[in-house]
A and B are shown apart, each in its own frame.
Chain A
Amino acid sequence: MCGLWKKEKANHHFPELNKRGKLLKSAWAVFNWKRTMMALVSLSIVFGVAYLMQTNNVATRGYQIQGLQNKIRDLKTENEKLQQQYVRLQSMSNVISQASGLNMVAVEKMEVVSNLGSAVALK
């Protein structure tokens, strides 16, 4: 900014602007009511559409999230049921009944293998 502005409190580069009200008048001269209205309406439409899209998007995402949450819940339930089934299948009564079905027999006599020790050598 020119240093003289402060000193003189006037714009010496554009002296025609120094007169009070001239600035507003010139601005008013440029202002076009019709265009402004059109711009405002256009903006309203744009923002309106954007808002609708966003709301729609959020709602859709909400449904998607809810759907996924339901899916998680269903999967958790399914997982719990599978775990219970797994545990049931591993129960001793089930294992024993399966073992007899596979013609398995109880071990009556064990063969105990004695440890040779850590040091061995080839002959």
Chain B
Amino acid sequence: MSWRANKQQNRSGRNSKGSGDQVRIKILAVFFVAVASIIILKLFDLQIMKGDFYTALASDQHELYRKLVPERGTIYAVENRNGQQQLFPLVGNQKLQMLYSVPKEIKDASSTANALFAILGLPDNVNLAAAEKDLFADISADLDPVMAEEIKTTRRQKWLEEQNTKEITRIYNLLATPNSLYKAIRHRLTDDQVQKIKDLNIKGLYFQEETWRFYPEAGMGGQLFGFWGIVDDAKKGQYGLEGYFNKILNGTPGEIKAQRDAFGNLIAVGDNYFQEKKDGSSLILTVDRAIQHKACQALSIAAQKYKSETASVVVINPKTGAIIAMCGYPDYDPDKYGRVDDANVYNNPLIFDAYEPGSIFKAVTMASALDVDKVQPDTTYVDTGGAQYGPYNIKNFNKKVYGKQTMVQVLDNSINTGAIFAMKQATPEVFVKYVKDFNFGKQTGIELSGEVAGDLSNIDRKGEIYKATASFGQGIMVTPLQMAMAYGAFSNGGKLMKPYIVSQTIDASGNVTNYYPQEVRQVITAKTAQVLSGMLVSVVANGHGKMAGVPGYIVGGKTGTAQVVNKSGHYGDDVDVTFAGFAPFSDPRFVMIVRFKKPQNSKEAAISSAPVFSDIAKFILQYYNVPYDNPTDPALKKLK
């Protein structure tokens, strides 16, 4: 073969080989484009679609940032133990575990949800007892009891099954969200639950320690404490002491920011920042635990017995203005504050619920008239059963006519016209001045959230009738605490004290801040106070307040049954019943107000509030080891 033929052959061979190469190149190009596309798509997924997730993950790997949450202060009450005062925590802290998941790590959400439900069960807020009201609403009372019970059982089981399914679905939905980094499943786990979940050894389930408030004394003044609840994604004290002292109790948060190395260790020379947290201060209350318990318990039992809409009791030390006990009904559990039916229950009725006090206000009227020497205990007037003001005839309770009466009898029998007589003797202007001097119409300044001032606008109106109705406690609005402070002045030589409930705060370093009693003013003279106290003793000994008496002790006080304005703006059948009193007469250790709002049973203070006062007063006097005023009291002999 010639060299030319060879060349030709080579050319043709090269051509066929060249077309094969081109195909291969094209395949390779397609392969590279495909790989590049996959890479681009993956990068898009990683950087755009899941960018936040991986940024957070990376930040957690090479940076540490933690907010240091301060420990919230404890709230202590005092208690008398063999003559010595000791502290007892009423509100403390407890650390509980919260279960959360990293859904990305969960392999089988369905079986995990079922396993978790088997351990956790239904959450606390699922309340069968509350649901039963609706579930059984249509079951007639006339239905055969056996049949009714069978229906109830079936419905109960069905309801529980529904709740179980609902909860398992909820947990499943939390676990089956692979794009999520964190999902909280259940708060406040018990140690037993934590251990059982750990034993499951399921990847993707973690625990985080949380601080919760701890209330060792259930049902003992939820309205007094308030609660530590979530506001705008942060926990904050609300209502009561928690609300008023939120900043002091809360302390100052700290923070730590540091860089990590590849192994997750902190880099000492990195861009680090540390601010120490400052734990909250603790509060030492003036409240006595034993008296508080007794007062709350007695009030709750009586309020249920009388079917009262609300009720309240406050016990103060008249010499200092210190609150010894303070309780409202219905109360709520601050540990489960979210489960109340009506948010009104958060308000403390002793400072929030201003009302027409009724006849307990007659003591204030009498104080003003006595103090200006316009009446004496034996001053007499003739009761005709009413007082005419234009077209209005103000009558006595139960339309009684008493005839000639002394001022002592005015209080004993709670005569409205007698209070009007005393007010007129003092003059309406002087009466108004005294009412204001007793600080009615102004906030007392107690360290609790939600205090109202009351309303005295009526007595500033022209016309004597407004002063006349105010003289027996109608037409003006006062809070039970304001009334207690006024009665405190009667038992404290005429000095009105400012109420206070915190005696000390102790900060995290142990520095103590003391709160001292504050005198507002001398409203009436010591002599007037003494005379008035004697007249109030007569009310308990001879008048309407007999059931407030405590055998062996001389007790003073006054009943008050006030009409309540109904929805149409007129006085209806509902009443507010109050007893305000003090004991012992010789050296009053306490002043107490017991009030029931709109009781359906026992609509007179003499037979509702007064016995509750007596019950609590007896406990306090024995608790304080107060010797009998009258050891020969025949009532004592009847006791065992």
Q: Which A residues have a C-beta under 8 Å from some C-beta of B? A: 77, 80, 84, 87-88, 90-93, 107-110, 112
Contact = CB atoms under 8 A, between A and B. Distances in A.
Nearest to B191: A81
Nearest to A88: B216
Given A112-B627, A112-B628, 8 more contacts: A77-B95, A80-B94, A84-B92, A84-B216, A91-B218, A93-B293, A110-B622, A110-B628
A51 B640 CA distance: 84
B216 A87 contact: yes
A87 B289 CA distance: 13
Contacts of A91: 216-218
- Interface bin, chain B: 20 to 34
B476 interface: no
Interface string B616-640: 0000001001011001000010011
Contacts of A77: 95
Contacts of A84: 92, 94, 214, 216
Tell me if A's interface is mostly helix, strand, loop or mixed: helix
Nearest to A94: B216
A92 B94 contact: no
Given A80-B95, A87-B89, A107 B622 contact: yes
B327 to A, nearest CB: 13
Among the interface residues A108, A110, A112, which one has the most CB atoms of the partner chain B within 10 A?
A: A110
Interface in B478-530: none
A6 B214 CA distance: 88
Contact of A90 (B88, B95, B622): B88
B290 interface: yes
A84 B625 CA distance: 30
B627 A109 contact: no
Among the interface residues A90, A92, A112, which one has the most CB atoms of the partner chain B within 10 A?
A: A92
A92 B293 contact: yes
A4 B217 CA distance: 98
A112 B627 CA distance: 6
A92 B627 contact: no
A107 B628 CA distance: 14
A49 to B, nearest CB: 25
B217 A112 contact: no
A109 B216 contact: no
A92 B290 contact: yes
Contacts of A112: 627-628, 631
Top 3 closest pairs, chain A to chain B, by CB:
A92-B293, A109-B639, A108-B639
A92 B640 contact: no
Interface string B280-297: 000000000110010000
Given A87-B88, A112-B628, A92 B636 contact: no
Nearest to B94: A84
Contacts of A88: 216
B614 to A, nearest CB: 13
Contacts of A108: 639-640
A116 to B, nearest CB: 15
A109 B290 contact: no
B292 to A, nearest CB: 9
Contacts of A110: 552, 622, 625, 628
A80 B627 CA distance: 41
Contacts of B217: 91-93
A90 B79 CA distance: 12
Contacts of B220: 92
Contacts of B625: 110
19 contacts: A77-B95, A84-B214, A84-B216, A87-B88, A87-B92, A87-B216, A88-B216, A90-B216, A91-B218, A92-B217, A92-B293, A93-B218, A93-B219, A93-B293, A109-B636, A110-B552, A110-B625, A110-B628, A112-B628
